[in-house]
Amino acid sequence: MLNIGILGAGGIAALSHLPEIAEVPGLRVTHICGRREGRLRLLCERFAVPRYSTSWRDLLEDPALDAVIVALPHPLHAEAGLAVLERGLHLFMQKPLCTTLAEADQLLAASEARPQQVVYCRPSFSAVVYAMRRLLAAGAIGTISGALARHSHGGPEVYYAEVSDSFDEPRMTEDLWFYDADNAGGGALIDMGVYAIANIVALLGEVEAVSARMSTVAKPTALEDSATLILEMADGALATAETGWCDPARSSYLRVHGTAGKLQQVGDEIAYIRPGSYEREWATPITETISPPAAPNQHGEWLRCIKRGEQPALSNLWTARHIMEIMLAAVESNQQGRRVAVHSQPRALLPAL
């Protein structure tokens, strides 16, 4: 049985980590920390967590811990993640990995110096992404020519309304640090766009350059609430990643095009669409619906990697660093109005399909 500590007692801990871990034999949360004692007491009671602290540094002094989940605000990810690794514990990093490339490189260096410690980095990937990878590897759509991914919602205030409800608190009691341009580390791109970019990288591999445009359409912030990226892939394909905080109807969209067809996410299924003819422009395409098997529970996958002594195949630190560089290149591209190269080394990429 592995004893888990969670740094952060907000919505992601309450709505994702704690309930998911409860479903994984071999894992248990024994210590949680946060700023609000009322929340800590509620979570300890709800999920049978025996101990809480109001300082994440105090939690890391707990000798009973085997592994730690970092679920703090984005600007604290790197400092806390480094402290976990220095403590000799396995690490689960909430997205985004950090807010600067220097922080990403520090985390990567610390992890590579301690290869026995497993580092799982969100985003995790859906059953659709795993199934699409298998289909692409089998050549189902021929040579990949492009992709489109979008991940967006109605903004942090919508998310926090759900969080407040989960804690039986009045709505909007959170200070929306997401909108604080001086301290958030980035806007909608690192909050939501990370999912769209991660899906493209998982399916198409290395990004060599980025061209991006961002804007603030409706939210009370100097940060971007909308962004579109054109990603130049190493094999010549072009992909588009879209994101935003101005989409209360929510979007989670993924499509990959190839010379022999396309794969399109439709909820939890895949539409596999092939040409009805290569000689008739208006021939009706052939569509097959594929229902993929369930994806691995992210915490269960972390546990399996710990038992095997190996890093995650997809949600690993090298991939997270590559995704972080893509997002920072997008910010630079938007500011300077030009294409920006991405310089990740091949060892930082996903395993080949």
Residue 100 and residue 7 share a domain: yes
CB proximity list for 24: less than 8 A, separation 6 or greater: 297, 299, 300, 303
Residue 215 and residue 342 share a domain: yes
Q: Which amino acid is at 264?
A: Q
Residue 112 and residue 139 share a domain: no
Give Cα separations from 290 to 268, 271, 285 (angstroms).
9, 6, 16
Percentage helix, strand, coil for the chain under 3-state DSSP, each rounded to 5 = 35, 25, 40
CB proximity list for 48: less than 8 A, separation 6 or greater: none
Number of domains in the chain: 2
The confidence score (pLDDT) of residue 19 equals 97
Residue 181 and residue 50 share a domain: no
Residue 106 and residue 146 share a domain: no
Q: Which amino acid is at 294?
A: A
243: in domain:
yes
308: in domain:
no
How many degrees, rounded to 5, is the angle at CA 135 between CA 271 and CA 282? Answer: 45
The confidence score (pLDDT) of residue 349 equals 46
Residue 7 and residue 107 share a domain: yes
* Cis geometry, peptide bond prior to residue 293 (ω within 30 degrees of 0): no
Residue-wise pLDDT for 244-269, tens only, equals 999 999 999 999 999 999 999 999 99
312: in domain:
no
Which of 83, 201, 81 has its CA nearest to residue 132?
A: 201
The confidence score (pLDDT) of residue 324 equals 97
Whole-angstrom distance, CA of residue 165 vs CA of residue 330:
35
258-269 as b/e: b if 16+ CB within 10 A: beebbbbbeeee
Domain end call among 106, 121, 136: 121
Residue 148 and residue 112 share a domain: no
9: in domain:
yes
Domain end call among 88, 121, 154: 121
Whole-angstrom distance, CA of residue 72 vs CA of residue 33:
10
The confidence score (pLDDT) of residue 347 equals 52
Q: What is the pLDDT along the chain (353 residues), one digit of tens a residue?
A: 999 999 999 999 999 999 999 999 999 999 999 999 999 999 999 999 999 999 999 999 999 999 999 999 999 999 999 999 999 999 999 999 999 999 999 999 999 999 999 999 999 999 999 999 999 999 999 999 999 999 999 999 988 888 888 888 887 645 678 899 988 889 999 999 999 999 999 999 999 999 999 999 999 999 999 999 999 999 999 999 999 999 999 999 999 999 999 999 999 999 999 999 988 989 999 999 999 999 889 999 999 999 999 999 999 999 999 999 999 999 999 999 999 999 985 454 455 45
What tokens appear for 103 in the block? Answer: 């922080």
Task: Label residue 325 exposed, middle or buried (CB < 10 Å: 0-12, 13-18, 19+).
Answer: buried
Give the DSSP letter string of 289-314.
EE-PPPPPPHHHHHHHHHHHT---SS
Residue 167 and residue 19 share a domain: no
307: in domain:
no
Residue 131 and residue 116 share a domain: no
Whole-angstrom distance, CA of residue 12 vs CA of residue 196:
19
Q: The domain spanning residue 46 has which CATH number?
A: 3.40.50.720
Residue 82 and residue 147 share a domain: no
Q: Which amino acid is at 252?
A: S
Q: The domain spanning residue 152 has which CATH number?
A: 3.30.360.10
309: in domain:
no
Residue 137 and residue 223 share a domain: yes
Residue-wise pLDDT for 159-170, tens only, equals 888 888 888 888
Domain end call among 67, 87, 121: 121
Residue 164 and residue 96 share a domain: no
Residue numbers of the domain that contains 224: 127-294+317-348
